[in-house]
Amino acid sequence: MTLARIGVLALQGDFAEHIHALTELGAETREVRLPKDLESLDGLIIPGGESTTIRRLLDLYGLAQPITDMASQGLPVWGTCAGMILMARHLPDDRPQPLGLMDVDVARNAFGRQVDSFEADINVPAFGTEVFKAVFIRAPAFVRLGDTVEVVARLDDGQIVAARQAGLFATSFHPELTKDKRFHSYFLDIVRDHEKEGQGGLNADIANVTVPSSAAS
């Protein structure tokens, strides 16, 4: 079987941890910094970090529109923490402007600030009976899910912390900060399912993307 080609947005945040997990699972990985890096990917991860900074850099390097276009064409995308914020349709805050990839509304810092970070054992029905120890750092929360969005995991109090809409996947916590790779395997399964349906390996139309001169280096 051909290795899945997974891009990890590498502008800011914990992209290296995602790459390490994917590599250990046998996926082919690529750091995404410019529109040309999106070419021929089978999936994309938008990692945790600082959402306003990542959004500013997406615009600076000409990545926001190509990512939006590719997701609308069926490219699987997984957003963790800040990535989940950027995937949202709407945010109660006035910043950052989300990409609107997924039919969800998301509240930033819903569980508190950095000092309120915590770990929690969550039950994930797709993983069977063994709990997943999730790491929450300035975590966002889902405040609305569209009709076609599926709940993947909840906290004990019922708060949704992972959700999926076809090939679009979002988690409010950081699976890449643990040694448990089940969520990365889950995303690779999403990618393989889309490949079987003939939707994998989408190409960004990078020829017509105007990249600011400061992004060319």
- For residue 178, give both structure tokens: 């643990």
**Residue 161 burial (C-beta neighbours within 10 Å; 0-12, 13-18, 19+):** buried
- For residue 14, give both structure tokens: 């914990």
Length of the chain: 217
Q: Please, are residues 84 and 153 in contact by the beta-carbon 8 Å criterion?
A: no
Please list the active-site residues: 81, 174, 176
User: Edge-to-edge strand order for the sheet containing 43-46?
Assistant: 28-32, 5-9, 43-46, 77-80, 168-171, 160-165, 150-154
